[in-house]
Amino acid sequence: MLQATLNGDSVTGVAGWTDPEEPVLASATALAAELADPIRLTALQLLAAEGPHTMSRLVAALEVSAPRLGNHLARLRAAGLVEVEHAGRHAIYRIARPGLADVLAALSRYAGDALPTARPGREVTADDIAHTCYDHAAGRLGVALLGHLVERGALTAPDGRDEELALGPDPAALAALGIDPAALDTGRRKPATACLDRIHRLPHLGGALGARVLDRLVEQGLLAREEGTRVLVVTAAGRRDLPRMVPTFSV
Amino acid sequence: MLQATLNGDSVTGVAGWTDPEEPVLASATALAAELADPIRLTALQLLAAEGPHTMSRLVAALEVSAPRLGNHLARLRAAGLVEVEHAGRHAIYRIARPGLADVLAALSRYAGDALPTARPGREVTADDIAHTCYDHAAGRLGVALLGHLVERGALTAPDGRDEELALGPDPAALAALGIDPAALDTGRRKPATACLDRIHRLPHLGGALGARVLDRLVEQGLLAREEGTRVLVVTAAGRRDLPRMVPTFSV
DNA sequence: GTCACCCTTCACGAGATCGTGAAGGGTGAC
DNA sequence: GTCACCCTTCACGATCTCGTGAAGGGTGAC
């Protein structure tokens, strides 16, 4: 029988701290093991940020063979991280539990912060800070923007269950950007979506709302589109005002 | 050359989503791989919650052989997750970057929530909800209590850099519990420490402050110590008032 | 019915990971 | 100096993981 001490109390017959049978520990290491593969992690990040995907859409996005992805998805299903719904001959995968988005976000944030800043060929570029993704802003700015709007209650956080983001209880943060969500002309587009940032591996704001926000920032002279590229240049005014408007964004 | 599309923009010659060379992706999967082992994860959780430990203290706590732990710590050092400081013949390990605590907390929270609730021999017990750890409260209540005090700005979050927790800018949440931190008689004890909860794998409040809080809750009739065991019984009054006092705590 | 297509599973070989046991370096006590 | 002690490293065998290729089941188009 084991004998150990825990903060002065003796705990007899209790399994050790590292007993792989400990339920929370086993569950945590199993989860970490699922995240420790580029394909599985990217698939989960895509599903968590952008909502359900069919198998074939994932195959195209990840550029891997179907059996290879299928094996990984089978693992993720067995681990209870994703769920499948079959529609005809298509298989629609989605995140099983919304809470996973928090884990993925924490992981990506740490991974981004922990990067040795000036790697060969990987120094911080203007592109890294802000660039367009279709017609909305991506990069550090796009990620910070979505985080800001979610934190202020203007939008609900992406949790991978749905394709679109719902408006939150308090539109003040959107109003502060000069946007009235009720007056948004969405056309046939989804009003607000999350879109996985390719560099930072965190969701940024897309959809009609994302496009409108970018237009406003350009109108206000805070950002400038660079002709022929996808780079968004932060103007002098933007360098002054953006960190005030979006507190988690710097430079 | 690769050809892919990203939200309508064609991106030519860009490495795929799952390219293991992508810096943030590589960093994230490497981190997850380090967390995917019971010994490494527990060591990191201990260091993040309770601050620096010597190698021998970790060996005793984890109940593993020295070479086995040494191999794991060498990995963690190579991955940049922990740092060593040599003091005489002792090696003092600590978390390298405070942000890791957030990742570990997110992982443990998801792992705890994702548990199939009624496992054989692992149903939710009174012990699970609240029990003593030395002279302070652990279990779900102890964890929620520390989280609440940190969120309200009464304490700083444990980040593994220090052995004790500093007081935060706003003591109101402590005052609401009937405690004046300035009047705390610490004796030779540390005023406030974090202590890793064995079941939930999240830090709870220890030290003189933790003991004082538990005393107050018992005085107020919200908790009752069970004679001869470490169980803390939530009284009828506690069931009514505790969720109001500590919003993240239920039942 | 026939076919193309989407998805899943299986088995095998290459590769990586992990724990043990043994050995070695450096420190402090005596 | 001698010794006990703390920590680290190394090498090897057992074990697990992963990707490929092939095969098979089910669906919808024609």
A81 and A109 belong to one structural domain: no
- What are the structure tokens assigned to A37, written together? 């593969």
- Residue B14 in this model has a pLDDT that exceeds 80: no
At A124, is the pLDDT very low, low, confident or very high (cuts 50, 70, 90)?
Answer: low
Find all residues with CB under 8 Å of B207, minimum gap 6, and list them: B136, B164, B165, B186, B189, B190, B191, B192, B193
Final residue before a domain boundary, out of A50, A72, A95: A95
Structurally, chain A folds into a number of domains equal to: 2
Distance in angstroms (rounded) separating the CA atoms of residues B77 and B90: 16
pLDDT at B216: 95
Helix runs in chain B, H state only: 23-35, 38-50, 55-62, 66-78, 100-113, 126-129, 139-151, 172-176, 207-219, 236-245
Query: Among all chains, which residue has been given the structure tokens 């946007």?
Result: A179
Window from A47-56, A147-156, B99-108, B227-236 with minimum mean pLDDT = B227-236
Distance in angstroms (rounded) separating the CA atoms of residues A84 and A97: 13
According to DSSP, residue B250 is labeled: -
Higher pLDDT, B173 or A181: B173
**Structural domain boundaries enclosing B191:** 104-245
Coil vs helix vs strand at B179: coil
> For position B55, which CATH number holds?
1.10.10.10
Distance in angstroms (rounded) separating the CA atoms of residues B95 and B40: 12
pLDDT in tens, B25-35: 999 999 999 99
In a domain, A120, yes or no: yes
pLDDT in tens, A156-212: 999 999 999 999 999 999 999 999 988 887 778 889 999 999 999 999 999 999 999
In a domain, A251, yes or no: no
A89 and A123 belong to one structural domain: no
The verdict on A248 touching B (C-beta cutoff 8 Å) is no
pLDDT in tens, A6-56: 333 333 345 678 888 889 999 999 999 999 999 999 999 999 999 999 999
A121 and A232 belong to one structural domain: yes
B19 and B143 belong to one structural domain: no
Bridge partners for B86 per DSSP: B91
On strand D, nucleotides with any atom < 7 Å from a protein CB are: 5-11, 17-23, 25-28
B91 and B114 belong to one structural domain: no
A236 and A131 belong to one structural domain: yes
Nearest nucleotide to the CA of A88, by C1', is: D27
A90 and A110 belong to one structural domain: no
CA distance A240 to chain B (A): 27
Crossing angle between the packed helical segments B23-35 and B100-113, to the nearest 10 degrees: 60
Interface size A-B, in CB pairs within 8 Å, comes to 190
Bridge partners for A84 per DSSP: A93
CA–CA distance from A146 to each of A188, A191, A248 (Å)? 22, 14, 10
CA–CA distance from B250 to each of B33, B241, B243 (Å)? 33, 10, 5
B84 and B154 belong to one structural domain: no
pLDDT at A32: 98
Find all residues with CB under 8 Å of A173, minimum gap 6, and list them: A148, A149, A152, A153, A154
Rg (CA), chain A: 21
Nearest nucleotide to the CA of B64, by C1', is: C19
Final residue before a domain boundary, out of B55, B75, B95: B95
A36 CB contact with strand D at below 7 Å:
yes
pLDDT in tens, B55-77: 999 999 999 999 999 999 999 99
Q: What are phi and psi of A111, to 5 degrees?
A: -60, -40
Angle at A84 between CA A143 and CA A23, to 5 degrees: 80
Distance in angstroms (rounded) separating the CA atoms of residues B105 and A83: 24
Distance in angstroms (rounded) separating the CA atoms of residues B208 and B181: 10
Query: What pTM does this model have?
Result: 0.92
A147 and A240 belong to one structural domain: yes
- Residue A86 in this model has a pLDDT that exceeds 90: yes
Closest alpha carbon within chain B to A63:
B16
A44 and A149 belong to one structural domain: no
Q: What are phi and psi of A224, to 5 degrees?
A: -135, 135
Distance in angstroms (rounded) separating the CA atoms of residues B19 and B33: 17
